[in-house]
Amino acid sequence: MNTVSTRSVFFLLLTICAVIGFITAGCKPQKQAAPPESITIAYSTATSDILSHIAFANNFYLAEGLEAIPQPHDFGKLALQSVLNGKANIATVADTPIMFAVMEGRPVAIIARIQSSEKNEAIVARKDRGIVKPRDLKGKKIGVTRGTTSDFFLYAFLLDQNIERKQVKVVHLTPAQMPAALKAGKVDAVSTWNPTLFQLQKEWNAKASLFYGEHLYAESFCIVATQEYVKKNPEAIKKLLRALIKAEKFAREYPEDSRRLVADFIKADKASLDELWEIFDFRITLTQGLLLSLEDQTRWAIRHGLTARRDMPNYLDYIYFDGLKAVKPEAVRIIH
Amino acid sequence: MTKLERRKTRYEIRRLPDASLDTRYGEKGMKINKRLKLSAWFSLTSLLFILFSLAWALWTARQANDNLLLVHEIERTAFERIILRDNWLFYPEERAKTQWYAKTEYLRTLLDSATDRFTASAAKALLQDAKENFAATASLFPMILESHKQNALTAQKKLAYTEAQARIISQVFLKAYSLNDNISKLHELARKEELAARNKGVALVIIFIIIGVTAMVVNSTLISDIVTKRIKELLAGIAIIGVGNLEHRLSIKGNDELADLAQEINEMTQKLKQSYTSVKNLEKEITEREKIEKKIIKLSARQQALLSAIPDIIMEVDNNKIYTWVNEPGKQFFGNDVIGKEAAFFFEGKQDTYAKVAAVFEGAEDTIYVESWQRRQDGEKRLLSWWCRALKDEKGNVIGALSTARDITEQKIAQEEIRKLNEELEQRVAQRTAELMTKTAELERINKVFVERELRMRELKKRIEELEKISEAHISDKDK
């Protein structure tokens, strides 16, 4: 074999290696530089919406080609109202406001559940008002945020304690009003979520009783839009989901950085996030549990006359599967 | 065996005749480059076989994996269908009913798909049973569903539990779904891990194969390159020797066949040099040989002349008694076409000549004498006296016989005549003796007559002796 043929062999081998490397590495087409799509995201500043906060803080939305305009709200119900009022495209909200919206006939489309917890809701009660054990709540004034998870949690808790709703006096308060109301004695207890819950716990410490109901209710925090929006903007929904999936991965891999980023983003105490972090499950999914939870809450709403509608809606009609199916099909666990 | 001994053995082998050498090189004389190319082709062929086997294994694994996934899907669907049924039994919502129907149809599709995919008889039997059970559930549960529709029970009526209990049951359902979801995820995870591990293994195997084959090809290429380079060096050295520079020696590198070849060439060059030194001696030897050959030719011619000059017949036969050579007297006697004919062809009458000379052809050293009546070329019957001697090759094997012959027909006749005369004479002597005896008695009586008769006898004897001398002289003249 002469020198030329030897070179040819080496060249051939080099080419084969290059082809193998190319195939192994994959040859993803380069993303076309298109102008970012504008999208307004109404989000809750509560700790139930951490993935959304991370996505904003890390510019994951922009990286996916979305010019995400943040629209902060104190809690998810307000964010949902903003969407339903046409002031935002996407809302991050818990399951109870979604259920009420559906029962009111609003065209809601649930895109995914982004966070869940069984310990994000609790009742904080003043011991000096004689509330030491759950049964002591009978006859007391309890503050709740109407039409939210705190409302449903109180119902589930009282039911579990065999206390009828009429045996307590429900006072409707926003989370922001609760600390003052509790301190002023306007209410004897409040049913609420974090970070208000954490704040009250620190403030009252041993002077207050804290009642959790881990097996009574699992809060599901979701991202929703109107059905019209998801129908018209399927690509934007995919980008949104990709950004949130990035945030999910970031939260799992860099929890400390995530807490710091979220604390800075929502102007919260990082120590509270450090303490609360473990009670949250950060996963982008669509589970059958969400469906059942919505139906459970619907039955509650119907039974207690909280909505005008008296029949059970088919929540499958209010879930937008295509987005999550496209970007993370294994996360779609709802039977459909 | 040491290297030196091996080399000696090789040297001895190379002293074999040319044919042996050809055979030896014919068996093992494959070119190095050809061998290397053959090796490369062999490697490529092996690689193709490996890739083919691997592809087949991957395809089989994929099939098995697909089947496994299908089974998992059936399992999951069946479980979900049960949960949906329970869900509806407690809360007969239209949603649960719709989902149950959807799952039922899906499960039917999956079972049909499995029936098509699985080929083993045991699996087909199991699937047949499963389809029968499925058909039963698919017809029975809708009956309950329809019955509920007809009764049109209200939500309040159907509740057999308290609100609190119902909530707990609701949570149980939720947990059951979650549990099912967890199990499904666990299944998928395990499958993915198994698949990933297998793929990793396969990828590793592929990488190893690629590396191995690449190494083989590179190795072959490098070896070929090195060998070619060294052969070029050898060829250059041989070219120098070839133009007559017998002082040149090839450099010996390494310890392989090429080094051995270089060594052999050097040895051959050394021998060539020695041969070249003795060329003059060889030329002298050739000249002497030529002289000897000329002498031999001259001697041969003289021998031919001598043999031709001898009046006796000289014949040569092979072991089959076929005449292979004859001198001039022989040709004159038997004819010019005697060569190629068997001796017996010329025999006259029945004779045992072959038996008499058999000892000659058996290797006897003695000269055997035999007389034989033979036919001369003119057809006349002649008596020949033969002196036969064996002819042998350099190894002593009998290759025929050399015989001289003389025509003794007249001598034989003369002898016969003498014999007859002698007999006659003896008879006459006897007769005369008898007469003399008779007459002696008579002479005794007659002294004078006796003396005369005695004298007469002496005269007669004298006369006989003269006759004999005349006869012998006559025969001698004839012989000459």
pLDDT digits (tens, 9 = 90+) for A36-93: 889 999 999 988 789 999 999 999 999 999 999 999 999 999 999 999 999 999 999 9
Local confidence pLDDT in tens for the 480 residues of chain B: 455 455 444 434 344 344 333 333 333 445 566 666 777 777 777 777 777 777 777 777 777 778 778 888 888 888 888 888 788 877 878 888 888 899 889 989 988 998 898 887 777 877 887 788 788 778 777 776 776 665 554 444 443 557 776 777 677 667 767 666 665 655 565 566 667 667 766 776 777 777 777 777 777 777 777 778 878 888 888 888 888 888 888 888 777 777 788 888 888 888 888 877 777 778 888 889 999 999 998 888 888 787 777 888 999 999 999 999 888 888 889 998 999 999 999 999 888 999 989 998 988 888 899 999 999 999 899 999 999 999 888 888 899 998 999 889 988 888 889 889 888 888 888 888 888 788 777 767 777 766 777 888 899 999 999 988 888 888 887 776
- What are the φ and ψ backbone dihedral angles of B409, each rounded to 5 degrees? -60, -50
Q: Which two tokens stand for residue B379?
A: 């057809």
- B307 contacts B327 by C-beta, under 8 angstroms: yes
Distance of CA B115 to the CA centre of its chain: 60
A327 CA to centre of own chain: 18
> Which residues, 6 or more positions from B393, have their beta carbon under 8 angstroms from its beta carbon?
B399
Omega cis (within 30) before A195: yes
Q: How far is A100 from chain B (nearest CA, A)?
A: 18
Judged by a CB distance cut-off of 8 A, whether residue A293 touches chain B is yes
Q: Describe the crossing of helices B447-479 and B409-445 by its angle, rounded to 10 degrees.
A: 170
Question: Using the beta-carbon criterion (under 8 Å), do B170 and A1 form an inter-chain contact?
Answer: no
Determine the pLDDT at residue B29: 45
CB A125 within 8 A of CB A208: yes
pLDDT, residue A31, reads: 47
CB-based contact (8 Å) between A296 and chain B?
yes
DSSP code, position B243: T
Strand partners, A225: A109
Please tell me which residue, B48 or A177, carries the higher pLDDT value: A177
| Amino acid letter, residue B440 | T
What is the rounded distance in angstroms from the CA atom of residue A139 to the CA atom of residue A163?
9
Closest residue in chain B to residue A315, using alpha carbons only:
B95
Three-state DSSP at B467 gives helix
For residue A279, give every residue at least 6 positions away whose Cβ sits within 8 Å of its Cβ, in sequence order, or none: A117, A118, A119, A120
Q: Of the candidates B102, B164, B217, which has its C-beta nearest A13's C-beta?
A: B217
Band of residue A254 on the pLDDT scale cut at 50, 70, 90: very high
The phi and psi torsions of B421 (rounded to 5 degrees) equal -60, -45
**Closest by alpha carbon to A92, among A105, A106, A74?**
A74
Query: How many angstroms separate the Cα of B420 from the Cα of each of B277, B404, B414?
Result: 80, 30, 10
Give A233-246 pLDDT, tens digit per residue: 999 999 999 999 99
A116 close to B (CB below 8 A): no
Q: Return the residue of A nearest to B170 by Cα.
A: A296
Q: Quick one: pLDDT at residue B454?
A: 82
Residue B35 pLDDT: 64
Q: Which two tokens stand for residue A312?
A: 């059970």
CB count within 10 Å of CB B32 equals 16
**Nearest residue to A297 via CA among A217, A228, A196:** A217
Set of chain B residues whose Cβ sits within 8 Å of the Cβ of A113:
none
pLDDT at A240: 96
Domains of chain A: 37-117+219-331 (3.40.190.10), 121-212 (3.40.190.10)
pLDDT at A3: 45
Question: Is residue B404 exposed (0-12), middle (13-18) or buried (19+ Cβ within 10 Å)?
Answer: buried
Question: What span, in angstroms and rounded, lies between the C-alpha atoms of B333 and B196?
Answer: 111
Q: How many residues does chain A have?
A: 336
Burial of A291 (0-12, 13-18, 19+ CB in 10 A): buried
List the 19-78 stretch of A: residues with Cβ below 8 A of B: 20
Q: What is the pLDDT of residue B448?
A: 75
SS (H, E, C) A265-305: HCCCCHHHHHHHHHHCECCCEECHHHHHHHHHHHHHHHHCC
Q: Where are the alpha helices (DSSP H) in A48-148?
A: 50-57, 60-63, 76-84, 95-103
Judged by CB atoms within 8 Å, which residues 167-186 of A form the interface with B? none
Q: What is the pLDDT of residue A12?
A: 65
| Least confident residue range of A111-120, A202-211, B186-195, B325-334 | B186-195
Enclosing H/E stretch for B406: strand B398-407
Instruction: Mark yes or no for CB contact B225/A216 under 8 Å.
Output: no
Contact (Cβ atoms closer than 8 angstroms) between residue B9 and residue B2: no
- Give A60's contacts (C-beta < 8 A, 6+ positions apart): A54, A242, A243, A244, A246, A247, A250
Binning pLDDT at 50, 70 and 90, where does residue A107 land? very high
- pLDDT attached to residue A62: 94
pLDDT tens for residues B253-264?
Answer: 777 777 788 888
Q: What pLDDT was estimated at residue B328?
A: 85
CA distances for A179 relative to A183, A225, A324, B79, B285, angstroms? 6, 31, 38, 47, 136
Over residues A213-221, the mean pLDDT reads 86
Interface of B with A (CB under 8 A): 33, 36, 80, 84, 91, 93-95, 98-99, 102-103, 163-164, 166-168, 170-171, 173-174, 177-178, 180-181, 184, 188, 210, 214, 217-218, 221, 224-225, 228
Give the type of residue at B436. L
Which of B87, B169, B171 to mutate to test binding with chain A, by most A CBs within 10 Å of its CB?
B171
Cα(B129)–Cα(B142) distance, integer angstroms: 21
Cα A183 from Cα A172, distance rounded (Å)? 16
Longest Cα–Cα distance of chain A, Å, equals 101
Q: What is the mean pLDDT of residues A136-163?
A: 92
Cα A260 from Cα A168, distance rounded (Å): 40
Radius of gyration of chain B (CA): 62
User: How high is the ipTM of this complex?
Assistant: 0.71
pLDDT digits (tens, 9 = 90+) for A54-70: 999 999 999 999 999 99
Using CA atoms in the order B310, B315, B316, B318, what is the torsion angle rounded to 10 degrees? -170
CB hemisphere CA count around A35 (13 angstroms): 2
Interface test with B, best of A19, A288, A291 (most B CBs within 10 A): A288
3-state secondary structure of B222: helix
**Inter-chain touch B177–A6, beta carbons under 8 Å:** no
CB-based contact, A160 to chain B, within 8 Å: yes
- A85: how many CB neighbours lie within 10 A of its CB? 9
pLDDT at A176 over 60: yes
The identity of residue B34, as a single letter, is K
A-to-B residue pairs, Cβ atoms closer than 8 angstroms:
84
The pLDDT value recorded for residue A16 is: 65
- Tell whether the model's pLDDT for residue A197 goes beyond 80: yes
Of all residues in chain B, the one with the smallest CA distance to A293 is B174
Task: Give the dihedral of Cα atoms B256, B257, B259, B261; nearest 10 deg.
Answer: 170
pLDDT of A100 reads: 95
Average pLDDT over residues A273-291: 91
* Per-residue pLDDT tens digits for B99-156: 889 988 998 998 899 889 888 777 787 788 778 878 877 877 777 677 666 555 444 4
- The size of chain B, in residues, is 480
Residue A174 has pLDDT above 80, yes or no: yes
3-state secondary structure of A12: helix
Q: What one-character DSSP code corresponds to residue B71? A: H
Indicate the helix (H) or strand (E) that contains A230: helix A227-232
Kindly provide the residue ranges of all beta strands, DSSP E only, lying in chain A, ordered along the sequence: 37-44, 66-73, 90-94, 108-117, 121-126, 141-144, 169-172, 189-193, 208-212, 219-226
